[in-house]
């Protein structure tokens, strides 16, 4: 029994077991949906989308139906009576499923359908509006989306701010006041550090390698080399190509990442690989006994992002990784033979206030998120109208980053997220950066021997036993405080940036000559 159902080793209470058994079909549907999404983004012939989107819609409706079912609600209610008899896994399971049931049952069917209809049209209109750089086309859709999201917030309920309800959908327990507190520290401190970086000129705004072209086959070899170096388990994982890099998993035994090859600026391939590797590692290192249960998968989007950012920035962009990176680049892509390690380090750490979020460096990134958060919050509380969004956006860009979009395409229309109805999602990116820095600090900060000696296997083990192994057992805030001993702490990110960007340059030669 335990070999085919390993979860029975940790989920022992009968009331909790009934929930897992009831959700077996739900799990299988999600497994199929994940594979269908992966295929849609990678190898499906373009016209396959005609049938695929309908099949996805039908299976998703079935997933939703199960989550709304009276039977599941009854099983959860019954299990909640026995919480004091349960272990952490069982209590976590009941919490996770109760939350899903509450969300599924609070939002009425017609609102779900309306959102699906409006956002599927809005996504098409957004693409056209962006192409023509014409916000007026997208405006009526954004108005409807804001109205729908406001209605959803009302149905879900909240204590302080309607935006709380939307944030919570993406990040369990995160509140508007938490996000405001993070940015009240990060915005002024980032601007201060940024000014220093600009006047010091150690970290360049531009590097010639950004315009160097590479061959795709060589870049593929590079990705393979990086993954091999990180001891990627090829029997449980793979990498493929897609227009937007992502990670998806079909459980702990099948985790997939994708890469995009733009043809120039090879560091983009390096860091999107390391970013997705961080996401993938979280899934790969989970306790296999949680597989096939609602506890499988990361604690939240923010905690997931902390893992990707940790590998991408804190490991991958550190000077300790640069010599390894140089060797890997020299042996595969070969544009770096005449570039010394200090210069390579500067190339992968260019800092440039720019218009586009996805191109932003680790210093300026959170300023892009702050402006989106503030606009979303104001739209939801109705202190800003959709009409005013483009102008507000441009003013913020100038105030925060000193750059001003020339048109809507490089301003308010750059992200697809609002057309999907994802309002409350962006803050999880900054949360990820903050949690990654808190982990760095917990590992010892600038003097962390794990990081300065690049003990990758020990780092993986650290992350595995403290974070990955738990899946969704603990709510994200609780997990973070168990791991770091602190509440969400934006000053850890300030400390990290301050150290790396204002103090490290003075001893970079010494660090890199070791």
- Which residues are marked as active site? 276
Question: CB atoms < 10 A from the CB of 216, how many?
Answer: 12
Q: Which stretch binds Mg ion (CB under 5 A): 29-37, 115-123, 179-187, 308-316?
A: 308-316
Q: Give the binding-site size for Mg ion (rule: CB under 5 A).
A: 1
Which CB, 95 or 279, lies closer to Mg ion?
Answer: 279
Among 156, 130, 157, 158, which Cα is nearest to 142's?
130
Residue by residue, DSSP assigns 264-317 as B-THHHHHHHHHHHHHHHHHHTS-GGGTTSTT-S-S-HHHHHHHHHIIIIIITT
Report, in Å, the least distance between residue 166 CB and Mg ion: 20
- Name the one range near Mg ion by CB under 5 A: 128-136, 183-191, 307-315, 481-489: 307-315
Q: Which is nearer to Mg ion, 310 or 370 (CB)?
A: 310
Contact of 312 with 269, CB cutoff 8 Å:
no
Residue placing its CB nearer to Mg ion in the complex, 144 or 300: 300
Shortest CB 217 distance to Mg ion, Å: 26
Instruction: Name the 3-class secondary structure at 454.
Output: coil
Burial readout 360-385 (b: 16 or more C-beta within 10 A, e: otherwise)? bbbbbbbbbbbbbbbbbbbbbeeebe
- The answer to the question of residue 433 lying near Mg ion (CB under 5 A) is no
> Which range binds Mg ion by CB under 5 A, 137-145, 222-230, 262-270, 305-313?
305-313
| Cβ at position 269, least distance to Mg ion in Å | 16
Over the window 83 to 122, marking each residue x when it contacts Mg ion by CB under 5 A and - when it does not, the resulting string is ----------------------------------------
> Considering only CA atoms, which of 102, 190, 120 is closest in space to residue 497?
190
Nearest residue by C-beta to Mg ion?
308
C-beta of 282 vs 347, nearer to Mg ion? 282
Q: Are 250 and 199 in contact (CB under 8 A)?
A: no
| Residue number, 282 or 470, with CB nearest to Mg ion | 282
Q: Which is nearer to Mg ion, 308 or 349 (CB)?
A: 308
Q: Which of 285, 308, 364, 430 binds Mg ion (CB under 5 A)?
A: 308
Q: How far is the CB of 215 from Mg ion (least distance, A)?
A: 27
Q: In the complex, what is the shortest distance from the CB of residue 154 to Mg ion, in angstroms, rounded to a whole number?
A: 30
- Contacting range for Mg ion; rule: CB under 5 A; set: 171-179, 203-211, 301-309, 321-329: 301-309
Least distance between Mg ion and beta carbon 307 (Å) = 9
472 backbone dihedrals φ, ψ, rounded to 5°: -100, 15
- Per the CB < 8 A criterion, the answer to whether 256 and 248 are in contact is yes
Which region, judged by CB under 5 A, interacts with Mg ion, from 27-35, 137-145, 230-238, 303-311?
303-311
Closer by beta carbon to Mg ion, 308 or else 473: 308
As to burial, measured by CB atoms within 10 angstroms (0-12 exposed, 13-18 middle, 19+ buried), residue 308 is buried
Residues 6 or more apart whose CB falls under 8 angstroms from that of 180 comprise none
Distance CA 147, CA 362 (A): 33
What x-and-dash track marks residues 164-193 binding Mg ion by CB under 5 A? Answer: ------------------------------
Identify the burial level of 291 via C-beta atoms within 10 angstroms of its C-beta, where 0-12 means exposed, 13-18 middle and 19 or more buried: middle
From CA 401, how far away is CA 390, in angstroms rounded? 16
Closest separation between CB of residue 10 and Mg ion, Å? 28
Binding site for Mg ion (CB under 5 A): 308
């Amino acid at each position: 029994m335990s070999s085919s159902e390993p979860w029975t080793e940790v989920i022992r209470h009968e009331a909790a077991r009934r929930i897992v058994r009831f959700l077996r079909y739900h799990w299988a549907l999600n497994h199929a949906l994940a594979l269908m999404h992966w295929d849609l983004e990678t190898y499906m012939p373009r016209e396959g989308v005609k049938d695929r989107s309908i099949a996805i819609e039908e299976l998703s409706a079935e997933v939703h139906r199960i989550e709304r079912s009276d039977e599941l609600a009854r099983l959860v209610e019954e299990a909640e009576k026995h919480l004091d008899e349960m272990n952490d896994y069982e209590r976590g399971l009941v919490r996770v499923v109760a939350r899903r049931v509450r969300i599924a049952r609070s939002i009425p069917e017609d609102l779900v359908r309306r959102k699906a209809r409006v956002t599927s049209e809005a996504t098409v209109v957004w693409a056209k509006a962006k192409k023509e750089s014409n916000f007026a086309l997208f405006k009526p859709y954004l108005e409807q989306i804001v109205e729908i999201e406001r209605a959803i917030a009302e149905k879900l309920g909240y204590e302080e701010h309607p935006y709380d309800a939307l944030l919570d959908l993406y990040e369990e327990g995160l509140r508007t006041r938490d996000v405001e507190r993070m940015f009240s520290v990060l915005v002024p401190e980032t601007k201060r550090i940024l000014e220093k970086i600009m006047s010091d000129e150690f970290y360049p705004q531009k590097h010639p390698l950004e315009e160097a072209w590479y061959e795709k086959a060589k870049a593929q070899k590079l990705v393979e080399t990086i993954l091999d170096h990180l001891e990627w388990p090829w029997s449980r994982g793979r990498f493929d190509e897609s227009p937007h890099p992502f990670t998806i998993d079909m459980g702990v035994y099948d985790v997939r990442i994708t890469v995009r090859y733009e043809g120039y600026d090879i560091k983009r391939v390096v860091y999107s690989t390391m970013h997705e590797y961080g996401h993938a590692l979280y899934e790969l290192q989970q306790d296999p006994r949680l597989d096939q249960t609602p506890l499988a998968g990361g604690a939240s989007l923010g905690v997931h992002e902390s893992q990707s950012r940790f590998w991408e920035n804190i490991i991958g962009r550190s000077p300790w990784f640069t010599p390894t990176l140089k060797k890997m680049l020299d042996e595969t892509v070969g544009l770096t033979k005449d570039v010394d390690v200090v210069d390579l380090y500067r190339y992968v750490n260019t800092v440039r206030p720019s218009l586009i979020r996805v191109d932003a460096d680790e210093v300026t990134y959170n300023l892009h998120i702050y402006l989106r958060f503030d606009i979303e919050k104001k739209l939801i509380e109705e202190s800003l109208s959709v009409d005013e969004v483009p102008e507000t956006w441009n003013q913020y860009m100038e105030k925060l980053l000193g750059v001003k979009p020339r048109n809507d395409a490089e301003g308010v229309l750059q992200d697809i997220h609002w057309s999907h109805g994802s309002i409350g999602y962006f803050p999880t990116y900054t949360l990820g950066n903050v949690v990654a820095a808190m982990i760095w600090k917990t590992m010892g900060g600038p003097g962390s021997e794990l990081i300065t000696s690049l003990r990758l296997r020990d780092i993986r083990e650290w992350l595995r036993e403290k974070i990955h192994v738990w899946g969704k057992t603990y709510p994200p805030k609780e997990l973070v405080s168990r791991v770091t001993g602190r509440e969400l702490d934006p000053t850890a990110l300030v400390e990290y940036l301050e150290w790396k960007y204002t103090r490290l340059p003075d001893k970079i030669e010494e660090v890199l000559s070791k």
